[in-house]
Structure 1
């Protein structure tokens, strides 16, 4: 008997999933997949294979419209242990690099521009995930995962006194630390109306007595307020997160992808055979959830639409 694909905790979850949809394994053979970002104009997905120092490109083809399909090629190698990625308002790739401990932007001519590498004269820890606000500012998390060992970066002693969340001003490039009380800030995502920022704390990955939850903040004029715990993960830790247009939040976890309603209660799970690190919505209608899980890239069709921009 086949293993179940879904766990339904609230009947509302049945309206978000397609019972006949399959979990397609699009690619495998990686060491730790991360950082999926969809390029609608090119109908392709970039994703990171951190320990193998490469960014891979999955390109859609005719078969991928109805099932698996697609082809995978190497987009960048070495990748400087690239992790989380997004696109800015001009469609340029923005990447967090563990190896260089910086956030960079890939220009249209292929050159890179450094957006952040230090704060108050000290090197960042290892930027992990990144999102872009409508005002052009770039927000990223800075845990220590990339400097804990030589597996996903280069082992080093942290220079920053905290593991923070940062904002890079889109006009001036000035960097501000907007949150400084996380154990290990990880994935982050704006709500559909971009008035709320969600940030995962995956501290329990190395200490079971520390958080495994997602916090929410109000966003106004580049500042955060009204901090609250939005949701808890009961299997592993939250890593990458995304929101949909209905206000639901989708989070990675050890047993798959967890979906939470706008009020933070869990609606259900998509059960994946490998530990999930990150996810993003893509496809022509943004109704296909791409999932980076340990050694593989998966995808599944849903009835909801992703809210990520652009």
Structure 2
């Protein structure tokens, strides 16, 4: 698919706080990088700057290249949802079909990382972030899927957030959300942001040495399907538009896209392209800041 410029100049809604510093590149325009999908999700930037994303209902993973555009990478992905690259360059995925965490190797073969908690299946991992030490934080809400086997229901008694440490030990670290979803951590491994999407709140936590969380603090009044960070520590949320908050929880800017954003990351070799999955399409926007994920 070729990149298609949208015939309008920046459908951007600046908030009253936007004068604190524009984070969008000068003269930048929102561009539609691809369309015709059922529901796009899970963008993850590879070490070379390419962005991999899912069309989850169609069970496909696509890849976006800033020069070549969008192309199909894999069909038959175990209904991959949220994704993230680990330090080995492997694409780690929330495999919705079988309630698993796994990764795809260089031959696009799936390898199981983890499944289950306390003797039961997980509800269905949704989004994940990999900490600097290799531990994995992931949300495990419950959304019924039409492709699941008949009779399958919520497996766990809690819609939680879990931490899988590098040795493979799993711990439930959040158990008081209505519906956990998007999450992201800081590059130093000290802070985790997590969204309670149905309660329309973002919470901030201190990450302890054993991976558990402490000092739950209200951060922003939005739910969010996905999150990312830039090199200034700003947090990007997806809730009808892209909301950008400073590390102190101050609203920096609101960015409106032609479709409601679902998930987000920074891509390109310089990590200065905001990549947004938004329902049936994916969009890009050049930025002044750069991503850190």
TM over 0.5: yes
CA distance in 2, matches of 1:23, 1:184: 31
Task: Give the one of 271, 279, 282 matched to 1:294.
Answer: 279
Match of 1:113 in 2: 111
Match of 1:46 in 2: 52
Match of 1:242 in 2: 228
1:36 counterpart = 2:25:
no
Q: Is the Cα contact below 8 Å between 1:192 and 1:243 reproduced in 2?
A: no
CA distance in 2, matches of 1:88, 1:9: 38
Q: Alpha-carbon deviations, 1:235-280, whole Å to 9, x = none?
A: xx411011112111001111x2100111112111111011110000
Match of 2:22 in 1: 15
Aligned pairs for 1:105-184 within 5 A: 105-145=103-143, 148-150=144-146, 153=148, 156-170=152-166, 172-184=167-179
CA distance in 1, matches of 2:245, 2:45: 22
CA distance in 1, matches of 2:20, 2:227: 17
Match of 2:4 in 1: none
Q: Is the Cα contact below 8 Å between 1:287 and 1:303 reproduced in 2?
A: yes
RMSD (Å) for aligned C-alpha atoms: 1.7
Aligned length: 284
* Farther-moved stretch of structure 1 (155-164 vs 128-137): 155-164
Q: Is the Cα contact below 8 Å between 1:117 and 1:123 reproduced in 2?
A: yes
Which runs of at least 4 in structure 1 moved beyond 6 Å after TM superposition? none
Question: C-alpha displacement at 1:4, in angstroms?
Answer: 3.8
Q: Alpha-carbon deviations, 1:270-300, whole Å to 9, x = none?
A: 1101111000011111111100000001000
CA distance in 2, matches of 1:250, 1:108: 30
Q: TM-score, normalised by structure 1?
A: 0.87
CA distance in 2, matches of 1:71, 1:227: 40
CA distance in 2, matches of 1:202, 1:228: 16
Q: Which runs of 5+ in 2 are unaligned?
A: 1-7
Match of 2:243 in 1: 258
Match of 1:57 in 2: 63
Aligned pairs for 1:61-100 within 5 A: 61=67, 70-100=68-98
Match of 2:213 in 1: 224
Q: Is the Cα contact below 8 Å between 1:192 and 1:245 reproduced in 2?
A: no
CA distance in 1, matches of 2:19, 2:127: 29
Match of 2:3 in 1: none
Q: Which runs of 5+ in 1 are unaligned?
A: 62-69, 204-210
Q: Is the Cα contact below 8 Å between 2:56 and 2:80 reproduced in 1?
A: yes
Quick one: structure 1 residues 19 and 116, their matched pair in 2 at CA, closer, same or farther if it must change by over 3 Å?
A: same
Q: Is the Cα contact below 8 Å between 1:260 and 1:266 reproduced in 2?
A: yes
Structure 1 counterpart SS, 2:248:
coil
CA distance in 2, matches of 1:128, 1:305: 25
CA distance in 1, matches of 2:218, 2:165: 26
Q: Is the Cα contact below 8 Å between 1:103 and 1:114 reproduced in 2?
A: yes
1:268 counterpart = 2:253:
yes
